[in-house]
Amino acid sequence: MSLQLGDIAPDFTQESTAGTINFHEWAGDNWVILFSHPKDFTPVCTTELGEVSRLKPEFDKRNTKAIGLSVDPLEDHEAWAGDIQETQGQGLNFPLLADSDRKVSNLYGMIHPNANDTLTVRSVFIIDPNKKIRLTITYPASTGRNFAEVLRVLDSLQLTDEHKLATPVNWQDGDDCIIVPAVSNEEAKTLFPEGWDEQKPYLRLVKQPKRS
């Protein structure tokens, strides 16, 4: 059965470019972006790993660790790191799991036999500090991921965990948010004393509160 939102992310121990990873222990009280790649020494993956490395300061601001995976062996990962540095101008600065035995791939359902029965698809998981899966996205092998969108969802999750809000279509950090229907107007007066724009009883827009 495939993993679903709210499930506990399976724990594992696997080798990586940063040494042996005991996943739950490594994650600690951080958010985690876990993402898989079809194969080392492939063009789309090379650009993605360079981008995630560039985004490390943004992940750090959000108390978030990134960790990648493919089914290639560790020596291939280490050789590929040089290509990433050379072509993307950014060295690999997060662990890349060497899942040659497919242990992690199978735990997380990253191999889709009807697409390819040996390579992992481009899966993305956002996992919160309680080790719960909060987002899953699967891309085809030919399409590079949009990590600006991954950051956007991460911002939304962290904001809405802290406040009784949801974020509307195309929301970006700083935009107006939606007061969730479970919050009565009386409660909303306490939570949002500056007021809100009630377009419908179920659609109440409010300025984004400050994030802690």
Return the amino acid letter for 207: K
Beta strands in 55-112 (DSSP E): 64-70, 96-98
Burial class (CB in 10 A: 0-12, 13-18, 19+), 200: exposed
CA dist 141 and 153 (Å) reads: 22
DSSP 8: B
The catalytic residue positions are 45
Say if CB 95 and CB 21 are below 8 A apart: yes
